[in-house]
Amino acid sequence: MSEIIAGVEVPETAAAVEATRLMQKMTNPLIHHHSRRVFVFGVLHARRLGLGPDPELLYLSAMFHDTGLLTPFSDVEQRFEIDGADHARRFMLDRGFPATAADVVWTAIALHTTPEVPGRMGPEIALTHAGVLTDALGLGLDELDRGRVDEITAVHPRGDFKHEFLQAFVDGLKYRPDTTNGTVNADVLEHFVPGFRRTTTVERIIGAPWPS
């Protein structure tokens, strides 16, 4: 029997089921519940906006989007979004997905913290971003039916989400602070990590190895 949350059917493809199990194993309840809420919010926004995403690709994007905070994909020091995107792409290619599908999911994850750009792209990319904005910042929440929202949080409770989510960012990024340059993630480190100060774009330009 299909799992339905707030009127949204959760994909039951082999890859979706495996991704769910993998996320439960490799992340934690905070990220698992957040990722599932992102998917459901994304579908609800799709209905509101008249978009038709591929449910499986949207689900995989949502499930992998924050994995880079907890389980870096490689030893390369890179943005956590790219860690998660790389992990999702490898997961998909190893299971026979076409490269075009893997690229959609990679892009959705890599851009999920980037302002404005994802909303101008394909539905899976735009809706992953929209789901993240709703769950993390409450953007678009007033456009959704309150009863539906309550159903989602009953199945995937928020708990002390705001504080725990910020702590997850600190824990996942404090050892690679330079990767936050130019991103919203630098806000978190500057607020919570003593002694951290972002290098501004002005400083980078002025400090460039050019005479003028």
Q: Give me the domain span that covers residue 112.
A: 4-159
Whether residue 184 lies inside any domain: the answer is no
CATH of the domain at 12: 1.10.3210
Whether residue 120 lies inside any domain: the answer is yes
pLDDT (tens digit per residue) in 40-64: 999 999 999 999 999 999 999 999 9
Specify the number of domains making up the chain: 1
Whether residue 212 lies inside any domain: the answer is no
R_g (Cα) of the chain, nearest Å: 18
Whether residue 75 lies inside any domain: the answer is yes
Whether residue 59 lies inside any domain: the answer is yes
Q: Tell me which residue of 165, 121, 158 sits closest to 41, measured CA to CA.
A: 158
**Type of residue found at 109:** I
Q: From the DSSP assignment, how many helices (H) and strands (E) are in the chain?
A: 11, 2
**Type of residue found at 3:** E
pLDDT (tens digit per residue) in 113-167: 999 999 999 999 999 999 999 999 999 999 999 999 999 999 999 999 999 999 9
Residues of the chain with pLDDT > 70, as a percent, come to 99
Whether residue 183 lies inside any domain: the answer is no
Whether residue 47 lies inside any domain: the answer is yes
